[in-house]
Amino acid sequence: MKQVFKRIGIGCLAVFFIWSCSRHTTQETLQPATTGIDIYLQQELQRISGYLDQAANPASESDSLDIEFYYQRAMEELDQLSLTHEFHPAFLDLQSRALAAYDDYLAALNPAPTDSLSADFVLQELSELYAAEGNGNLDATVSPNTQQLKIPIVINSKVERAIQYFTRGKGRKVFQRWLERAGTYRPMVQQILREEGAPEELFYLAMIESGFNSQARSWARAVGMWQFISATGRAYGLENSWWFDDRRDPVKATRAAARHLMDLYERFGDWHLAIAGYNFSPGKIERRLRQKNVSDFWTLPRLPRETRNYVPTYLAAVTIASDPGKYGFEISNSAEPLVFDTMTVKECVDLNVVAEAIGSSFEEMKRLNPGLLRWCTPPDVERWTLYLPQGKREAFAAKYADIPKEKKMSWAHHRVRSGETLSTIGRRYGVSVSEIKRFNKIRGTLIRIGQGLVIPVPADTKVRQKYAASESAAAPRHSVRRSKPVENVAGREKHEYVVKQGDSLWEIARRYNVSLAEIRTWNGLGYSRLIKPGQSLNIWLLPGGNQSSVAAQPAAVLAQAAPPPVNDSQPARSGEITHTVASGETLWDIAQSYNVSIGDIKRWNGKRSNLIHPGDALKIMPK
């Protein structure tokens, strides 16, 4: 369930403009009187930009939970802001950048190629198909093969196009695989839907959301078979930490999805609107209903393209799945239903120990417990329901009581050596910095040589090496260059700024209307944003300025006079130039430097994502 943070249409992206981050923006662009950006909106957008900046901070790079926290804060506050500024270009621009940054973060965590069988891929292909063919005739008729279902399954031109997609070519291969996977979860999911009073055919909504993949993770930060984002998941009891994620648990997530969908149905009194609300923002759907005085999904105005296509795609899936033989599908390789026993444990226990006690394997325990992100039950939860192979509950209960407590969870005792930090130690053992601090009651990040640390690790050596390797690979790293401060910048004068308590580089850059990359380069800071009160920073500004007067000037005044920054990699010249990416630079920094858009840079260089690396050569066509 991606809700409001899905990719918006390319047509909308074409009209986005940069509202506050270009050093060459004119005064008229920044003035609220001409742009319509009121003080409240500007302050909110700046604050959310700060969260995105923190997410990119290398001080958090070894702790994916910290990075995820800042992205979630940014996304959730964008969601709230969208209730009043949904179509404001400044809001749309920041939302677009936030999604692009999170997309790059997920790509670094999981660099695997796009799964051509994923639900995201299918929805994207269908959206392109719908866009190419237009809306067609949306007059709906009830499908005679599905009249016994509680949700009206209507057929119109959009539903028919989705049926054609799923019964031909690549779409047929996808749907065949989904039907085979459905056998794993159908009994369990439909039982929970019945218990919650929800229509059983909602089972196929999980097909459209994830292709019945409990490990699915969308670039839009939706997780699990039912694709919950963190905020909505928490509202229905799905918690997550570095150790676990309830959204990946098919049992817990199905119950949460059933309750959420029933709430949406009670809210709208219409299943098509409820399903649209599951994909989009319920509040925005209500507002559209009121504004245009419409009463059904098919006449709702200004929906995101994916939501417009989401409901017909679901209706097509139910139509085919209700009578697969009619459409030529044979389910001969249907997966075995998911069955298991449960056992509540009241302490952290290593899955290797559980597997050994019941004659199973670590891999089987992980398969049955997809909500566990590590090798053990979470130490930050008092009680945990563990899923066991069917018929193993009594055997585990009998042996578990005899396992010594020190063997239920294994620990490494690490002695801090010269040059080590919490980050390097965390990467070595595959444990987050926050967990090392929690287990060792460390409040800050300071550790000393010779200090002893207790590190939670898997009991099995191979598993330990696997987690350490995967955690190390998952942490998006940036090479740090130890540079000297710049001694001269052509056409500028040096001004000294003394860091005050509570200052951040982001705030200082905004104050002087320069980029973070420039401050880092001028002061030899590499990519680090760690600054301390009393520290002196060199700020290179136009001749005639001084620290106090410059700091007091509006950003718009500075923006009018500021020349393009000096790029050491190429002398300034007209026409195309080459920019060599410095350590810590982002496409946003580079776009600021040359008064161009991120989209321009990506188009000039044939790039699809925002991911760049130090040393990359980028073509730039300055305006």
pLDDT-derived band at 66, boundaries 50, 70, 90:
low
In whole angstroms, give the CA distance from residue 531 to residue 519: 12
pLDDT at 114: 42
In whole angstroms, give the CA distance from residue 430 to residue 55: 20
The pLDDT > 70 percentage for the chain reads: 72
- What residues form DSSP beta bridges with 493? 541
pLDDT at 611 over 60: yes
pLDDT at 563 over 60: no
Segment of 41-45, 129-133, 586-590 carrying the highest mean pLDDT: 41-45
User: What are the Cα distances from residue 440, in Å, to 64, 265, 361, 455, 467?
Assistant: 19, 48, 31, 8, 20
Judge contact between 347 and 183, C-beta under 8 A.
Answer: no
pLDDT at 200 over 80: yes
pLDDT at 166: 93
pLDDT at 501 over 80: no
Does residue 445 or residue 190 have the better pLDDT?
A: 190
In whole angstroms, give the CA distance from residue 461 to residue 540: 53
pLDDT-derived band at 556, boundaries 50, 70, 90:
very low
Q: CA dihedral defined by 186, 189, 190, 193, rounded to 10 degrees?
A: -160
First to last CA, the chain: 41
Identify the CA nearest to 513 among candidates 560, 478, 459, 473: 560
pLDDT at 548 over 60: no
pLDDT-derived band at 148, boundaries 50, 70, 90:
low
pTM over cut 0.75: no
Q: What is the mean pLDDT of residues 193-200?
A: 94
Judge contact between 157 and 137, C-beta under 8 A.
Answer: yes
The pLDDT > 90 percentage for the chain reads: 24
Q: What is the mean pLDDT of residues 289-316?
A: 86
Does residue 484 or residue 349 have the better pLDDT?
A: 349
pLDDT-derived band at 300, boundaries 50, 70, 90:
confident
Judge contact between 226 and 254, C-beta under 8 A.
Answer: yes
Give the orientation angle of helix 271-279 with respect to helix 250-268, to 10 degrees: 130
In 113-230 the beta strands, taken as DSSP E runs, fall at 141-142, 154-155
pLDDT-derived band at 208, boundaries 50, 70, 90:
very high
pLDDT at 559: 32
pLDDT at 479: 39
Q: What is the mean pLDDT of residues 601-617?
A: 77
pLDDT at 43 over 70: yes
- What residues form DSSP beta bridges with 387? 342
Segment of 80-89, 237-246, 505-514 carrying the highest mean pLDDT: 237-246
Q: 579 is written with which tokens?
A: 């920019």
| Alpha helices (runs of H) in 249-402, residue ranges in sequence order | 250-268, 271-279, 282-292, 305-322, 351-358, 362-368, 393-400
Task: Render pLDDT for 359-369 as a digit per residue (tens, 0 to 9).
Answer: 999 999 999 99
pLDDT-derived band at 137, boundaries 50, 70, 90:
low
pLDDT at 49: 86
Q: 242 is written with which tokens?
A: 């570095």
Task: Render pLDDT for 378-392 as a digit per residue (tens, 0 to 9).
Answer: 887 889 999 999 999
pLDDT-derived band at 521, boundaries 50, 70, 90:
confident
Q: What is the mean pLDDT of residues 103-132?
A: 61
pLDDT at 274 over 90: yes
Burial class of residue 444 (count of CB atoms within 10 Å of its CB; 0-12, 13-18, 19+): exposed
pLDDT at 18: 28
pLDDT-derived band at 316, boundaries 50, 70, 90:
very high
> C-alpha angle with apex 352: 351 to 354, nearest 5 degrees?
60
pLDDT-derived band at 372, boundaries 50, 70, 90:
very high
Could you give the domains of the chain? 3-109 (no CATH), 119-229+265-323 (1.10.530), 341-406 (no CATH), 410-474 (3.10.350.10), 493-620 (3.10.350.10)
In whole angstroms, give the CA distance from residue 171 to residue 189: 24
In whole angstroms, give the CA distance from residue 192 to residue 261: 13
Q: What is the mean pLDDT of residues 443-461?
A: 79
What type of residue is 243?
A: W
Task: Render pLDDT for 229-270 as a digit per residue (tens, 0 to 9).
Answer: 888 898 999 998 878 999 999 999 999 999 999 999 999 999
pLDDT at 457 over 60: yes
pLDDT at 553: 37
Lowest mean pLDDT among 146-150, 334-338, 366-370, 433-437: 146-150
- List, as one string, the DSSP characters of 226-257: TTB-HHHHHHTT--B-SSBBGGG-HHHHHHHH
Does residue 324 or residue 142 have the better pLDDT?
A: 324
Task: Render pLDDT for 479-499 as a digit per residue (tens, 0 to 9).
Answer: 334 567 888 888 889 999 998
pLDDT-derived band at 464, boundaries 50, 70, 90:
low
Judge contact between 50 and 34, C-beta under 8 A.
Answer: no
pLDDT-derived band at 312, boundaries 50, 70, 90:
very high
Segment of 97-106, 142-151, 514-523, 540-549 carrying the highest mean pLDDT: 514-523
pLDDT-derived band at 469, boundaries 50, 70, 90:
low
pLDDT at 266: 93
- What residues form DSSP beta bridges with 141? 155
pLDDT at 20 over 80: no
pLDDT at 21: 35
Does residue 160 or residue 23 have the better pLDDT?
A: 160
Strands 341-345 and 154-155: what pairing?
unpaired
Identify the CA nearest to 385 among candidates 368, 360, 406: 368
pLDDT at 262: 94
Look at residue 372 and give its three-state secondary structure. strand
pLDDT at 57 over 80: no
Does residue 467 or residue 478 have the better pLDDT?
A: 467
User: What are the Cα distances from residue 85, in Å, to 3, 8, 40, 258?
Assistant: 17, 15, 11, 31
Mean pLDDT of the chain: 75
pLDDT-derived band at 583, boundaries 50, 70, 90:
low
pLDDT at 117: 55
Judge contact between 372 and 351, C-beta under 8 A.
Answer: yes
In whole angstroms, give the CA distance from residue 99 to residue 71: 9
Residues 6+ apart with CB under 8 A from 394: none
Q: What is the 3-class SS of 437-493, one letter each residue?
A: HHHHCCCCCCCCCCCEEEEEECCCHHHHHHHHHHHHHHCCCCCCCCCCCCCCCCCCE
pLDDT-derived band at 590, boundaries 50, 70, 90:
confident
pLDDT at 568 over 60: no
pLDDT at 142: 59
User: What are the Cα distances from residue 562, in Å, to 89, 591, 592?
Assistant: 24, 15, 12
In whole angstroms, give the CA distance from residue 338 to residue 325: 24
User: What are the Cα distances from residue 67, in Å, to 72, 379, 407, 434, 528?
Assistant: 9, 21, 32, 12, 16
pLDDT at 59 over 80: no
